[in-house]
């Protein structure tokens, strides 16, 4: 692969790899402070972590353990890039335990603004560290499925993997 064939990286991504997970290809990136990105990718082939990567191998291992039901919590340093409100939402999402769900209103309250349920939805949509920041665990107050950037099929898979009940 020539250097010009590599996907364009955002300014905060330093090193990256891909991982073919049960829900499709994931692109994982890091900077010097932690994981900056885990998102669904159109990449066709797996790309191994580059030599000198600080967190990518650990992220790959922990994701593999998650998908084989050996891991329920992630222990990765994250380098979050977003507004202060988005970061509060993403931290609140990390507080949803494995196998449980929360509504947008519950996350809004945990982020400090009970009336910000719609803004929580937008912050979920801007979450660039899927699975580890478990935006898939946010469902409607009536337990119905709500949107998911990766598609509802991937959300259903992740919820089913964790044993979370929902209404279709």
Report angle CA 15, 17, 22 to the nearest 5 degrees.
150
Among candidate residues 76, 91, 89, 74, the one with its CA nearest the CA of residue 29: 76
Report angle CA 150, 154, 157 to the nearest 5 degrees.
160
List, in order, residues 6 or more apart from 23 with CB less than 8 Å away. 40, 150, 154, 157, 158
The CB-side HSE value for 46 (13 A sphere, CA atoms) comes to: 7
Q: Which of 78, 130, 132, 135 is catalytic?
A: 135
**Catalytic-residue membership of 17:** no
C-beta separation of 36 from 82 below 8 A: no
Among candidate residues 50, 7, 5, the one with its CA nearest the CA of residue 25: 7
Distance CA 146, CA 78 (A): 26
Active-site positions?
Answer: 135
């Amino acid at each position: 692969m020539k250097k010009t064939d590599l996907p364009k990286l955002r300014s905060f991504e330093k090193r990256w790899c891909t991982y073919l997970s049960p829900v499709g290809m994931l692109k994982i990136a890091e900077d010097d402070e932690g994981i900056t990105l885990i998102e669904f990718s159109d990449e066709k082939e797996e790309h191994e972590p580059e030599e000198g990567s600080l967190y990518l191998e650990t992220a790959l291992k922990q994701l593999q353990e998650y998908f084989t039901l050996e891991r329920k919590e992630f222990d990765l340093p994250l380098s979050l890039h977003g507004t202060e409100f988005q970061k509060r939402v993403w931290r609140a999402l990390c507080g949803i335990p494995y196998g449980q769900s929360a509504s947008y209103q519950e996350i809004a309250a945990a982020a400090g603004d009970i009336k910000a349920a719609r803004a929580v939805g937008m912050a979920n949509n801007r979450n660039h560290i899927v699975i580890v920041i478990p935006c898939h665990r946010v469902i409607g107050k009536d337990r119905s499925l709500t949107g998911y950037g990766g598609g509802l099929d991937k959300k259903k898979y992740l919820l089913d993997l964790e044993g979370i009940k929902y209404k279709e």
